Amino acid sequence: MLEGVVGRRRTEKTLPRNEKILRSLLDPSALPRHVAVIMDGNGRWAIKRGLPRTLGHRTGVKSLREVVRLSAELGISALSAYAFSTENWRRPPEEVSFLMELFVEYAGKEVEELRRNGVKVRVIGRREGLPARVLEAIQSLEQETKEGGRVTLNLAVNYGSRWEIVDAVKAIAQEVQRGVVKPEEIDEAVISSHLYTAGLPDPDLLIRPAGELRVSNFLLWQLAYTEFYVTPVLWPDFGRVDFLQALITYQQRERRFGGLKGNR
């Protein structure tokens, strides 16, 4: 369809940076159902400007807000954003505390808009080890947004995909021990249903800003057939136009799921 509109296949480089034009290029019937995003490059964004890294994180919240808004406008039904990994505890304590406080602030300030836009927030990751203030903020944000029916926003906080898989394996092992599940009944669906993302489709698109070519322990199981979009844009600079470019690029990809051309 895109060829029909623009006359030739546009590449990531030739896509315009005008929101109106980009929206006209988007096929609303072929949107990804689930988009995952690794919000990277906050530190570099700040350092480039001679600012503290923390200001990069704070500005990154604005990018998240825009991506959530646009997902709600377009009708993308799930969004997963990596906010704090199990590895991020290795950062200087001041930066860790800042990120924790930023989450508390986010939960308080954004809740009204999230509710208005029909966004249901689910915080994915391990609760153990999170400060009490963060746990309270998570509980209240999830509770206040639980009726949201337009977009499910998974915020990954204290998240590590390997831990997620370990936790799923433990839960399944306990079910086997209790006789609820037989070992021969364990299949991909059983494993998926024990992950934090249970009930959601796997991501169709992963957006990786800041030019990094890593998965960074994010949704390892769920990304099996996901299309990757890598952009040099640093997360705090990532805006609506960048998100639209990612979506259009995704629509130009041919997804084969391991099969042959034209097959699903």
What letter would DSSP give residue 8?
Answer: S
Nearest Cα neighbor of 243 from 202, 111, 251 is 251
Residue 40 is among the residues annotated as catalytic for this protein: yes
Rounded to the nearest whole angstrom, what is the least distance from the CB of residue 202 to ligand FPP in the complex?
22
What letter would DSSP give residue 35?
Answer: E
* Choices 59-67, 114-122, 144-152, 193-201; region in contact with ligand FPP by CB under 6 A: 59-67
Rounded to the nearest whole angstrom, what is the least distance from the CB of residue 106 to ligand FPP in the complex?
4
In angstroms, rounded to a whole number, what is the distance separating the alpha carbons of residues 127 and 135? Answer: 7
Dig out the tokens for 141 from the structure.
């944000």
The nearer residue to ligand FPP, 80 or 249, going by C-beta atoms, is 80
User: Is residue 238 near ligand FPP by the rule CB under 6 A?
Assistant: no
Write each residue from 195 to 224 as x if it is in contact with ligand FPP (CB under 6 A), else as -, in one continuous string.
Answer: ---------------x--------------
The nearer residue to ligand FPP, 27 or 212, going by C-beta atoms, is 212
* Choices 12-20, 21-29, 39-47, 223-231; region in contact with ligand FPP by CB under 6 A: 39-47
The nearer residue to ligand FPP, 26 or 164, going by C-beta atoms, is 164
Q: Are 54 and 46 in contact (CB under 8 A)?
A: yes
Residue numbers 140-199 binding ligand FPP by CB under 6 A = 155
Closest chain position to ligand FPP (CB) = 43
Rounded to the nearest whole angstrom, what is the least distance from the CB of residue 182 to ligand FPP in the complex?
40
Residue 88 is among the residues annotated as catalytic for this protein: yes
Catalytic residue among 40, 202, 204, 242: 40
Q: Other CB atoms closer than 10 Å to residue 125's CB: what's the count?
A: 23
Strand order in the sheet with 119-124: 119-124, 151-159, 78-85, 34-38, 205-208, 227-230
Residue 238: alpha-carbon gap to chain centroid? 14
Residue 168 CA: distances (Å) to CA of 80, 85, 190, 193: 19, 18, 9, 9
Active site residues: 40, 88
